[in-house]
Amino acid sequence: MSADRLSGAARLTALLLVVSTLSACGTATVVKPSGGRTAHTTPQTSVAKPGQTAVVRRGDTLYALARIHNITPRDLAGWNGLAEPYTIYPGQVLRLYPGNTPGRAPTTVVTAPRPGGTAPTPAPAPTPSPTTAIKSNISWRWPADGAVVGRFVGADVTKQGVDIAGSSGQPVRATAPGVVVYSGAGLVGFGELIIVKHSDQWLSAYGHNRKRLVNEGQSVKAGEQIAEMGRTGTTRDMLHFEIRYNGKPVDPLLYLPPK
């Protein structure tokens, strides 16, 4: 598996997590870290803040947020499943304590005492297993005709959806009504990509298109053509299709109707 593909998959996951927290018409803007760490201001040990989070604002970097919250940058990145170069986005929610997020385990953690000796706020409940169907009130439909040539593998970040084979220019349709929150080609390995937000919890993604037919902020209906199938970012004509619940991947075959 190529490094570009792995990097692109990680960035897609980050982007989907971000847009799931933004307004229906929101656009995620990438803010990359700038400059190095300053030795005398960067914490050497982390003070975890159980139950607390920080929302990224435009201009923030992971290094600056780490200093503000008295956490080492490596721990803050590890607790939130971020890999170098630690790219974060406006609207992204960063956890200020360790948990079950995939990523490097914390190196040094010192839990800050809470006033009055009160018990720490419990961590949020984990998202249901991606291989277990989650109740949805959305009537999903197939986004394209064709055979499934790649299936969902929860443990593999490059297989977070299904691949549907087809021909160049074949219609790619919205799987359910929603609003386009991303339309572009900025993620390596996914080519021309579209992401549609269906509700506060549910998103769908459509990759490798030959041509995108919708813009960010545009409302789409179920079954409406949003792209033409292609092979951008891959070696054959096909659609890479994902469904996400609260930004986490689920197996689309658990939700799409039987063929």
Q: Where are the domains of the chain?
A: 27-115, 148-254
- Establish whether domains 27-115 and 148-254 are of one fold: no
Quick: pLDDT tens for 130-165: 456 888 999 999 999 999 999 999 888 778 899 999
- The CA distance from 145 to 38, in Å, is 54
CA 134 → CA 31, 138, 213, distances in Å? Answer: 33, 11, 30
Q: Please say if the pLDDT value at position 208 is more than 60.
A: yes
Considering the chain, what percentage of its residues have pLDDT values greater than 90?
Answer: 36
- Using CA atoms, how far apart are residues 247 and 245, in angstroms rounded to an integer? 5
Q: Compare 171 and 72 and report the one with higher pLDDT.
A: 171
Q: Which pLDDT tens digit goes with each residue over 9-20? A: 666 766 666 555
Please check whether residue 111 is in contact with residue 48, taking contact to mean a CB–CB distance below 8 angstroms: yes
Please indicate, yes or no, whether the overall pTM of this predicted structure exceeds 0.85. no
Q: Which CATH entry fits the domain spanning 27-115: 3.60.10.10, 3.10.350.10, 3.10.290.10, 3.20.20.240?
A: 3.10.350.10
Decide: 197 and 176 in contact? Cβ < 8 Å.
Answer: no
- The tokens describing 225, both together, are 């053509």
CA dist 255 and 232 (Å) reads: 26
First vs last C-alpha separation in the chain: 30
* Whole-number pLDDT of residue 30: 34
Q: Does domain 148-254 have CATH number 2.70.70.10?
A: yes
What is the reported pLDDT for 17? 61
Q: Is residue 247 predicted with pLDDT exceeding 70?
A: yes
* Spatial distance between the Cα atoms of 157 and 195, rounded to a whole number of angstroms: 17
